[in-house]
Chains A and B, each alone.
Chain A
């Protein structure tokens, strides 16, 4: 507020005083206006500082770009509904004309033919995806908390090692990694896929960045109440960075889901669904329909998971005042 310093008031002339008072009144009116504006009509909360023109420009821009971004989704959905002759139509069309579920029934027939029961592939995928995702979220968060909020020798070194590791091409570390996995004796087990996934660099970095934003006072007061670091982590830190670990879960789910395990898993009984589906679609032209159905399924599961997580990301942090 533009209040007039009382100590300085003596030195001001009457005219200046009046001017200052007028300015103060104007300012007070403006503040009152802003405060009135924020009185929400039930359900529809109006954001401050938003002009109609700005909204129009930005939303138009977004719609134009959105049309481009949505292309793959449109194509995948349309393709899986196309009968074989439309899939091979030339020139290709994006939209389907005679939608059919033939492709899916073809796919199920092929699935039933597989040498290992298909449910086994699904089970493998569930173990690998969930194991890799949950383990990574927990391990990375646990490690990120001390890095963000504690002081101890070696902290900066450890953290910069993680960030640097993200910049090294994974394509070249594959072979040394294979040697180490063989040396540890976990080759041809689920662990060969799950354990390395627990220590990906990105998750730790993401979690640390979010935890850094938490005010120290939050943890300090819990410490005064006698909470151990373990309790603080689970009861205070993790609930407050929910958007972060939900986002991380999306990334990790996507990555583990796409894993075919082709290098490490030799036994057919251990291989994930992605591998089996790829085998099905490798059949060439005759199986193009089934392949389109596979593409749809492979995309649909992570998208569903994505929607569930995103929905929750947005639900959190409704209460303000948790922060400084």
Chain B
């Protein structure tokens, strides 16, 4: 900013500068002055952050504190220290299973759906007009149609009338109908496919919008500079130009793939067969909404939170290298 530049010019102690000027310069460097100078910034942020403080910061802080208590929503919370966490990792076998499942979800669906979002947004970007709007709608449809994943119940029905069973029986791949969502070893693969299908949401739309803000003249310049095909163009021009959207998409995708719960509950049930489809969030809902052990549920949430933050840090490091 302009003020900072003048500030830097004054700082070297040249003999010609008066004491008052030096004093003024020092004043400009203080925290109070900086805050005063940025009063416009603070004023613009005030409405959002006041609400954010009340409806997000305080509730999250309360939840983290609750994770060190026993709280059944009727009695006043009782302080138990680290006991919830100890129980979580040492005694709760279901939690360990759900943690494993969540990590599988995150590792498989996270990157794949991120790349799919990018790929489809990028292909759709080639089209124009209403066709393009329509294609965007088709790919966004699973996210906009509420509980659209229930359509998978039709496909994965366990008798021979289910579409998948029907096709596989006809092709002689299997001899008898498979109860897909109630057989332990098929639960996770099924859920992963449904989750992938469902995951073209927030990240996808933000990529669509991001591609729109890439300056078209960059493509011409790149062609003259010797970019030969669309893949080079994608890597050297498009992706670097939309880095902020890539970051945003990554955060959304991480949050999404770690928080898988609805599809598991609705397709495989909660609890699912031998907890084959349990995730950290279904476990959390089990304790929070069914057993009303809010302290324990908060501890689960806190562990999930730390897991997501760690992953996020890692992914951001990787994304910084795009286009190098």
Chain B residue with Cβ nearest A150:
B41
Contact residues in B for A49 (Cβ distance below 8 Å):
219, 223, 227-230, 232-233
Tell me if A263 counts as interface (CB < 8 A to partner B): no
CA distance A169 to B63 in the complex (A): 10
Residues of B190-233 at the interface with A, using a CB-CB cut-off of 8 Å, are 197, 200, 202, 205-206, 208-210, 212-213, 215-217, 219-220, 223-224, 227-230, 232-233
Task: Pick the contact of B63: A54, A173, A205, A299 (CB < 8 A).
Answer: A173
Please give the residue numbers on chain B whose beta carbons come within 8 Å of chain A beta carbons, in ascending order: 1-2, 4, 31, 34-35, 37-38, 40-42, 44-45, 47-49, 51-52, 54-60, 62-63, 66, 73, 116, 120, 123-124, 126, 128-130, 132-133, 135-142, 144-146, 148-149, 151, 154, 161, 197, 200, 202, 205-206, 208-210, 212-213, 215-217, 219-220, 223-224, 227-230, 232-233, 241-242, 244-245, 247-248, 251-252, 254-255, 258-259, 281, 284-285, 288-289, 294, 297-298, 300-301, 304-305, 308-309, 312
Q: Do residues A172 and B308 form an inter-chain contact, with CB atoms below 8 A? A: no
B212 touching A314, Cβ below 8 Å:
yes
Whether B138 and A206, one on each chain, are in contact in the complex, defined by CB atoms closer than 8 angstroms, is no
1/0 per residue, CB under 8 A from B, across A184-202: the answer is 1000000000011011011
Q: Name the A residues within 8 Å of B309 (CB-CB).
A: 164, 167
B308: A residues at CB distance < 8 A: 167
CB-CB < 8 A to B47: which residues of A? 139, 142-143, 198
Are A153's CB and B38's CB within 8 A? yes
B141 pairs with A184, CB closer than 8 A: no
Stretch touching chain B among A97-105, A280-288, A316-324 = A316-324
Q: Across the interface, do B48 and A139 meet the contact criterion of CB distance under 8 Å?
A: yes
Within 8 A of B (CB), among A158-187: 158, 161-169, 171-173, 175-177, 179-180, 184
Instruction: Point out the residues of chain A lying under 8 angstroms from B284, CB to CB.
Output: 169, 171-172
Instruction: Name the 6 nearest CB pairs between A and B, nearest first.
Output: A72-B148, A152-B38, A91-B161, A146-B41, A143-B48, A209-B244
CB atoms of B139 and A66 under 8 A apart: yes
Given the known inter-chain contacts A153-B38, A198-B47, A198-B51, please indicate yes or no for A54 contacting B230, CB distance below 8 A.
yes
Given contacts A142-B48, A143-B49, A243-B212, contact A48 B285 (CB under 8 A): no
The answer to whether A243 and B213 have CB atoms under 8 Å apart is yes
Whole-angstrom distance from the CB of B66 to the nearest CB of chain A?
A: 8
Known: A69-B141, A244-B209. 8 other contacts (CB 8 A): A66-B138, A75-B154, A146-B45, A152-B41, A176-B59, A223-B2, A247-B205, A247-B206
Are B212 and A316 in contact (CB-based, < 8 A)? yes
Partner of B59, one of A76, A180, A302: A180
Contact status B213-A58, CB under 8 Å: no
Per DSSP, chain B at the interface is helix
Are A258 and B146 interface neighbours, CB within 8 A? yes
**Smallest Cβ-Cβ distance to A315: which chain B residue:** B212
* A137, B195: Cα distance in complex, Å: 28
A295: nearest chain-B partner, CB-CB: B146
A192 vs B205: C-alpha distance when bound (angstroms): 28
Q: How far is the CA of A144 from the CA of B30 in the complex (A)?
A: 25
Asked whether B208 lies within 8 Å of A313 as measured between CB atoms, the reply is yes
Is A303 touching B255 in the complex (CB atoms < 8 A)? no
- Among residues of A, the one whose C-beta sits closest to the C-beta of B148 is A72
Chain A contact-residue range equals 35 or more
Q: Which residues of B contact A90 (CB under 8 A)?
A: 161
- State how many angstroms separate the Cβ of B237 from the closest Cβ of chain A: 9
* CB-defined contacts of A317 to chain B, threshold 8 Å: 212-213
Q: How far is the CB of A21 from chain B (nearest CB, A)?
A: 19
Q: How far is the CB of B309 from chain A (nearest CB, A)?
A: 6
* Chain A residues within 8 Å of B, Cβ to Cβ: 31, 34-35, 38, 47-51, 54-55, 58-59, 61-62, 65-66, 68-73, 75-76, 90-92, 94, 139-140, 142-143, 145-147, 150-153, 158, 161-169, 171-173, 175-177, 179-180, 184, 195-196, 198-199, 201-202, 204-206, 209-210, 212-213, 223, 228-230, 233, 241, 243-244, 246-247, 250-251, 254, 258, 295, 298-299, 302-303, 306-307, 310-311, 313-314, 316-317, 320-323
Which residues of chain A are within 8 angstroms of B55 by Cβ–Cβ distance?
177, 180, 195-196, 199
In the bound complex, CA of A35 to CA of B116 (Å): 33
Contacts of B138 in A (CB 8 A): 66, 69-70, 73
Bound complex: CA of A106 vs CA of B37, how far in Å? 63
Looking at B37, B149, B151, B304, the one whose CB has the most chain A CB atoms below 10 A away is B151
Contacts of B52 in A (CB 8 A): 161-162, 165, 199, 201
Q: Could you tell me the distance between the alpha carbons of A299 and B148 in the complex, rounded to whole angstroms?
A: 10
Contact A180 B58 (CB under 8 A): yes
A224 to chain B, nearest CB (A): 9
Known: A199-B55, A251-B202, A313-B209. A165 touches B60 (CB 8 A): yes
- Complex interface: chain B residues within 8 A of A145 (CB): 44
Identify the closest chain B residue to A91 (Cβ).
B161
Residues A153 and B31 in contact in the complex (CB < 8 Å), given A171-B301, A254-B144? yes
